[in-house]
Structure 1
């Protein structure tokens, strides 16, 4: 990975050439999914208005489509849910679910992607959860009749944490799906001094690729080209959000899981170093007021679920679980 980083400009050019070839990102089956860029005005605790950008994926009509609102983890933006085709393999969760007749709204959370970048020390977990809630409200308010009445939160990693807080505080969704995240106590194999060192970077933090790759991927179940692409397009994370993340990892009792009263699905990776499936039994007990809790394990899967060869299996299980819920 160090070699790739030293050759950063050259790697970016090669990757661009790969994905620009005929049959890449717009390949077979991708053209039937409509994609709309939408902006949502939100007002945060400083009293100021900000714009949150989301990409809406759907096939055919939006009528009678349950909607999934997707929240990405740190170092990502909405692109986590719409990874490009690489070596003839599709990695887009958003397009897959659109073909299963969902409407899928993949967000750039505040401070990431195309959404407005505000003070990175102010933008924390509470602000992100508030923004997610406001987007959910607006999506329902502007929907056509019989559209978006059924709403699901789907979050990955820190995005699952944000979804947890948003649902606990505001209750907008009929179900919550969490991938690559544990709301209960678990170990993280990263030295505390390294994590604290990132806080010195400033209000916006960048995690280096040589740390991301071994923490995020199981190399025996992923393509090196996907890992290289992932590191090239990695986003930043706000210091306020990162500090809150470290806080709840140390004291998970602060996470309001008891306030969640809708069905919950947790999907964990067998080889996820940050949220291991070894803690599945504890996680199932974290939602005493949920009418249904399902904890699912993906074998040979690391942290970045959508970037592994096992991604289709995970997507299929999420779809099946959502379809099993009453609407």
Structure 2
């Protein structure tokens, strides 16, 4: 009960401010894009070794391919980055970027999807950042010559928070892209009582579709079939340790080590995102004082789930163009 009272206080503050070589089994793919399932063993601070599963998307050869490592947000897994074709429209960020000649590794972060699920109170932000670092190191260590020398973290929402910490602590990437995440103080429209109830579920927590849909989607700018697929197929659990750390960082964003990012940073914010609104763009641009290049990029007609809205391709094109611009 004491823990719940402390968590409740955090939430109130938030709302007041509101490898083993990896296996490469061929997975289901579409047309020209190859998809490989890879498994990375990572050792966490409890001394245990856990498997992190990722799906590698690429077109043609892997030689001379910059790699994007994709990290999903809470209540998701790698499927966030590989939504299917719906109503004749392609919603897969991973396949889009593979066709732009990147290698794309979409992870099931520890505790999600096909990856191992440590104790949910143990699995927190620090453990997730360590796991991401170890995956990045293993991917590079087993790469072909001149492959994966350029690594970009692309994180959505809480995945962006994890990649921020991983980059600040370990420095594996040459650039960081964040979507749907603010590393500066902002409010979130969720009741403390509601979050308190979810924290009592147990070490792994699921949010119901009736709560996820209005928080994550701008219904006027998204296909209802996409929203239904999201809730029915790729909705996943989040560890309580990770969720509690997320609440802390929302309350005290000064604890997020953005000043340790010394690589280019791109932040995309949706104009209709209730969780990380584009209205905070000016403040967010000041959060990376030691980055040599910062771009905060508002995207119109977009809610929190960037890949699930009609305007998703505009955001993807801008990310591709920005990464390419770094080589100039």
TM-score higher than 0.5: yes
SS in 2 for 1:129: helix
Question: In the alignment, what sits opposite 1:6?
Answer: none
SS in 2 for 1:46: coil
Tell me by how many angstroms 1:326 deviates. Answer: 2.3
1:64-109, Cα deviation, whole Å (9 max, x unpaired) = 0000000000010000000011111100000000000000000000
Question: In the alignment, what sits opposite 1:309?
Answer: 310
Alpha-carbon distance in 1 for matches of 2:101, 2:147: 12
Question: In the alignment, what sits opposite 2:19?
Answer: none
Question: In the alignment, what sits opposite 1:271?
Answer: 272
Alpha-carbon distance in 1 for matches of 2:111, 2:61: 31
Question: In the alignment, what sits opposite 2:220?
Answer: 220
Alpha-carbon distance in 1 for matches of 2:197, 2:293: 40
Alignment of 1:236-255 (within 5 A): 236-255=237-256
Question: In the alignment, what sits opposite 1:157?
Answer: 157
Alpha-carbon distance in 2 for matches of 1:52, 1:229: 24
Count of aligned residue pairs for this structure pair: 300
Alpha-carbon distance in 1 for matches of 2:182, 2:80: 19
Alpha-carbon distance in 2 for matches of 1:253, 1:208: 31
Runs of 4+ in 1 over 2 A off after TM superposition: none
Alignment of 1:46-195 (within 5 A): 46-195=46-195
1:168-212, Cα deviation, whole Å (9 max, x unpaired) = 000000000000000000010111121122100000000011110
Alpha-carbon distance in 2 for matches of 1:149, 1:90: 29
SS in 2 for 1:153: strand
Tell me by how many angstroms 1:300 deviates. Answer: 1.1
Alpha-carbon distance in 1 for matches of 2:192, 2:140: 42
Alpha-carbon distance in 1 for matches of 2:300, 2:191: 26
SS in 2 for 1:285: helix
Question: In the alignment, what sits opposite 2:289?
Answer: 288
Alpha-carbon distance in 2 for matches of 1:90, 1:75: 22
SS in 1 for 2:37: strand
More deviation in 194-203 or 164-173? 194-203
Alpha-carbon distance in 2 for matches of 1:158, 1:78: 13
Alpha-carbon distance in 1 for matches of 2:253, 2:127: 19
Q: TM-score by structure 2 length?
A: 0.90
Q: TM-score by structure 1 length?
A: 0.91
Alpha-carbon distance in 2 for matches of 1:196, 1:305: 27
Alpha-carbon distance in 2 for matches of 1:53, 1:319: 25
SS in 2 for 1:64: coil
Alpha-carbon distance in 2 for matches of 1:105, 1:214: 29
Instruction: Structure 2: state its 5+ residue gaps.
Output: 1-27
SS in 1 for 2:84: strand
Question: In the alignment, what sits opposite 1:19?
Answer: none
Alpha-carbon distance in 1 for matches of 2:312, 2:301: 11
Alpha-carbon distance in 2 for matches of 1:195, 1:315: 32
Instruction: Structure 1: state its 5+ residue gaps.
Output: 1-24
Question: In the alignment, what sits opposite 1:198?
Answer: 198
Alpha-carbon distance in 2 for matches of 1:53, 1:299: 33
SS in 1 for 2:65: coil
Alpha-carbon distance in 2 for matches of 1:73, 1:196: 20
Alpha-carbon distance in 1 for matches of 2:150, 2:216: 32
Alpha-carbon distance in 2 for matches of 1:242, 1:110: 13
Alpha-carbon distance in 2 for matches of 1:136, 1:44: 15
The root-mean-square deviation of aligned C-alpha atoms, in Å, is: 0.9
